[in-house]
Amino acid sequence: MRALEGRVAMVTGCGSQGPGWGNGKAIAVTFARHGAAIYGIDLDREAAEETRAIVEAEGGRFAVGAGDVTSKPAVDALVADCVARFGRVDVLVNNVGHSLPGDPATMPEEIWDRQIDVNLKSAFLCCKAVLPLMEAQGQGAIVSIASTAAIRYTGKPQAGYAAAKAGLVQFSRVVAVDYARRGVRLNCVLPGLMDTPLVEKLAQDFASRETGTDRDTFYRRRHEQVPMGRMGEAWDVAEAALFLASDAARYITGTEILVDGGLCAAVRG
């Protein structure tokens, strides 16, 4: 039997930011392949529709919800739409995230606020909307995609992103304890250096800024940082999320899985 047969999974950030496989897209497709009906949310409806087309071509069920998960009215409407279409919410994947560089002295206040909103407030709002539903059902699983930046400094000046992802990890731990006897589990996946469409954009930006540096140099440096000698893929994140969402992890709550090729084990912090 497939791991999520008969479940309804809400996945935020289900589209990719370019050709290829981002974390949310891979998670949505993986969950659908394991029997879940997917309610995929993205700001970019076209990107979400691309994911929907893949799922439906493979015989899965997928409904698109386009909206901003940093807005409470939008989140409430999206959750209501999911329930109207599928009748319940069994799994929530908080996947939206965005990183911009800067330290407190150089980062504009509005950039700080946006980092907190996208990476942390979005998860709070989605949990706020689905937790009562899951409690009423007597079961539910929430998986939040954080980052190794939540627990280590891995070479990038990203104070806002790191703080928000660290907040997401501790938020998940605290709520996991509160809801442990109500049948709802909360856990996090912490990806390290991943090869996704977003990284391709970063590589092109990096090459355009750095004299004498090209895209291949950017990729080579990232591969070399990882003890396993290569970046991970979105599928690696998706498989970890699938495990935490499934009954195979029924006795696991309030914790994190590192998906980083040994990066954090090798970085002092």
Three-class DSSP category at 146: coil
Helical residues (DSSP H) of the chain, grouped into ranges: 23-33, 45-57, 72-86, 109-116, 122-137, 159-178, 197-209, 215-225, 234-245, 263-266
Q: What is the DSSP letter of 212?
A: T
Q: Are 263 and 154 in contact (CB under 8 A)?
A: yes
CA distance 188 to 170: 10
CB atoms within 10 A of CB 231: 21
- β-strands 232-233, 37-42: how paired? unpaired
Can you list the domains of the chain with their CATH numbers? 8-194+234-259 (3.40.50.720)
Q: Which of 211, 235, 229 is nearest to 31 (CA)?
A: 235
Active site residues: 161
Q: What strands lie across the sheet with 91-94, from one edge to the other?
A: 62-66, 37-42, 8-12, 91-94, 140-145, 184-191, 256-259
Q: Give pLDDT tens digits along the chain (269 positions).
A: 689 999 999 999 999 988 899 999 999 999 999 999 999 999 999 999 999 999 999 999 999 999 999 999 999 999 999 999 999 999 999 999 988 889 999 999 999 999 999 999 999 999 999 999 999 999 999 999 999 999 998 777 899 999 999 999 999 999 999 999 999 999 999 999 999 988 777 766 655 665 556 778 888 888 999 999 999 999 999 999 999 999 999 999 999 999 999 999 986 54
